Chains A and B, each alone.
Chain A
Amino acid sequence: MARLSRSGQKTGKRSAKRLILFVLIFGAAALVVSQSAPQIRRVFDPVRTTAGDRLGGGNDISLWARMSGQVARERRIRDLEAEVRELSRYKAAAISMAERLEAYENILNLVGEPPVRGVTARVTAESDGPFSQTLLANAGRSQGVEPGAIAVNEGGLVGRVIQLGEHSARVLLVTDFNSRVPVMGEVSGVRAILYGGRDGMGSLTDLPERSEFIEGERILTSAEGGAFPRGLVVGEALRSGDDWRVRFAMAERDGGYVQMVPPPVIEIPEPIEEIPAAGETGNPVQASAAQGVRQ
């Protein structure tokens, strides 16, 4: 009898634990579903940014380097790496400027883009899971990174800042399926929208029907939509069957650092006073037409 009651207790405990497990799974599912509402998702953003700060905030020389007495060498390497990054920025700027100069020659009175200053940060974490492909850099709002900042590395465009903490920034990579970058061919001038493919290469959509890219030409940002500045190197155009693909330049020169430059700011035009209606000022449209006939 005692044995029976003990086994009954065990069954009761087991079913209680099972119930707890189901409640937890359903709770988690409810949490996931609730985040489809932007208002609720925004509630969790501080949690994510705080965690991002903790995960990606460190900028010190490694403990191993300190223990093995390689601090001076480590510093020298970092200085040289910083110099290389600085020089590669000039290289990218030169390419961009050459492309812009051509546009200036074609279009008179083109308003130039002001030179941009960025924040360089170390990539502290990368996520290549089933969800969005992002990386975490160890610079945030307090270092001067702005929301929506453009991330570039030695190779070219890396992505755009989608989450910003005090000391960290999460960058959505251009290789992600959800990323959309307006691009153009450097030589052909053909415009398209670039998004990340499943094989680590970029796919192009919204291509014009008549004109085509040139195999091997450099793909640059076109600045349409105003999210990215014009002329940043994205990659190289490759023909794949009937489609055009892009080999990302950022993947070839990945030194573990990104520079985050502020997004282009396009001022909203101020509203001007409405032009008075034709009937209000003695029908000027008709008057001018009559004048034209007289002349």
Chain B
Amino acid sequence: MASRKSGRQRKSLWSQTGPTLRLLFGAFAIAAIGLLGLTPKTLFGLSIAWPYAALWGAIGWGRVGLSIRPMVILIVFGLIQDISFNAPLGCFVIVNLIVYGLSAAIAETFDVMNEPLVAVVSPVLLFIAGFLVLWLLASSLEDHAVRATPLFAAFLTTGLIYALGHKVFDLGRAPGQSAGQGA
């Protein structure tokens, strides 16, 4: 009984980590995966749909409400994406910030974010919104309806990887807030 109690009290290193460190770790993960994505990606002759890693941050970081630091990081990532995808500067910034804002709005609307339905449906809706905004922006700026297949493939990989590693982008509480302080 005592051993079970002590086991329950033992906290993981991640749960003890503050939001700033979590934010930096998440940003590092996004940057690393984004840089890897710049290299030619084929596996047995098939090209791999690389995830839009910044959307993980936009969704995960928005779950604790709006904050300036995540916004700045998302703008930086957006500008890097614009350059690497040869998009007009600002396109991916818009996508990242809209998804971040929507994520924060959903978190504010539903008090219980860990409720299974909300936890599953809200990221799916946010990814759909993100990719839809991206497709609309690309189509309107390129003067024709751009191919949806690579976007859909990227949407699937982004969503699947987020489902596995969403905890990396969970800040616990908004950066700059002390423990117990509400958003």
Contact of A131 with B75 at beta-carbon distance under 8 Å, contacts A25-B98, A31-B89, A47-B83 already known: no
Cα separation A285 to B91 with both chains bound (whole Å): 65
Contact of A131 with B146 at beta-carbon distance under 8 Å, contacts A31-B90, A32-B94 already known: yes
Q: Is the CB of B149 within 8 A of A127?
A: no
B156 → chain A closest CB, angstroms? 15
Contact of A20 with B86 at beta-carbon distance under 8 Å, contacts A55-B38, A198-B149 already known: no
Residues of B within 8 A of A25 (CB): 94, 97-98, 101
Q: Is the CB of A131 within 8 A of B97?
A: no
Segment touching A, from B3-11, B23-31, B60-68: B60-68
**How many positions in chain B have a CB within 8 Å of any CB in the partner chain?**
43
> Is the C-beta of B93 less than 8 angstroms from some C-beta in chain A?
yes
Q: Is the CB of B65 within 8 A of A20?
A: no
Near A by CB (< 8 A), chain B positions 135-156 give 135, 137-139, 141-142, 144, 146-147, 149-151, 154
Q: A7: nearest residue on chain B (CB-CB)?
A: B182
Near B by CB (< 8 A), chain A positions 174-209 give 177-178, 198-199
Near A by CB (< 8 A), chain B positions 9-39 give 38-39
Contact of A21 with B90 at beta-carbon distance under 8 Å, contacts A51-B83, A55-B38, A125-B39 already known: no
Number of A-B contacts (CB under 8 A): 119
A127 → chain B closest CB, angstroms? 5
Measured as residues with beta carbon below 8 angstroms from the partner, the interface class of chain A is 35 or more
Of the candidates B80, B85, B89, B100, the one whose C-beta lies within 8 Å of that of A32 is B89
Contact of A21 with B94 at beta-carbon distance under 8 Å, contacts A14-B65, A177-B142, A178-B142 already known: no
> Is the C-beta of B87 less than 8 angstroms from some C-beta in chain A?
yes
Residues of A within 8 A of B123 (CB): none
Contact of A198 with B71 at beta-carbon distance under 8 Å, contacts A25-B98, A125-B39, A177-B142 already known: no
Residues of B within 8 A of A128 (CB): 47, 150
Residues of B within 8 A of A199 (CB): 149
Q: Is the CB of A125 within 8 A of B71?
A: no
Q: Is the CB of B40 within 8 A of A131?
A: no
Cα separation A160 to B68 with both chains bound (whole Å): 41
Residues of A within 8 A of B142 (CB): 130-132, 177-178
Interface centre among B47, B75, B84, B93 (most CB of A within 10 A): B84
1/0 contact string of A23-36 vs chain B (CB within 8 Å): 01101111110011
Of the candidates B38, B66, B89, B182, the one whose C-beta lies within 8 Å of that of A17 is B66
Near B by CB (< 8 A), chain A positions 7-49 give 10, 14, 17-18, 20-21, 24-25, 27-32, 35-36, 41, 44, 47-48
Q: Is the CB of A35 within 8 A of B88?
A: yes
Q: Is the CB of B85 within 8 A of A28?
A: no
Residues of B within 8 A of A41 (CB): 88
Q: Is the CB of A28 within 8 A of B71?
A: no
> Is the C-beta of A292 less than 8 angstroms from some C-beta in chain B?
no
Q: Is the CB of A125 within 8 A of B138?
A: no
Cα separation A163 to B47 with both chains bound (whole Å): 25
B89 → chain A closest CB, angstroms? 6
Cα separation A134 to B100 with both chains bound (whole Å): 28
Q: Can you give 16 A-B contacts (C-beta < 8 A)?
A: A17-B65, A28-B90, A28-B91, A32-B88, A32-B94, A32-B141, A35-B88, A36-B88, A55-B83, A125-B40, A126-B38, A126-B39, A128-B150, A129-B150, A134-B86, A177-B144
Q: A48-B86, A177-B147 are in contact. List 8 more A-B contacts (CB 8 A).
A: A10-B182, A20-B71, A21-B100, A31-B89, A31-B93, A32-B91, A51-B83, A177-B142
Residues of B participating in the A interface, judged by any CB pair closer than 8 Å: 38-41, 47, 65-68, 71, 75, 78, 80, 83-91, 93-94, 97-98, 100-101, 134-135, 137-139, 141-142, 144, 146-147, 149-151, 154, 182
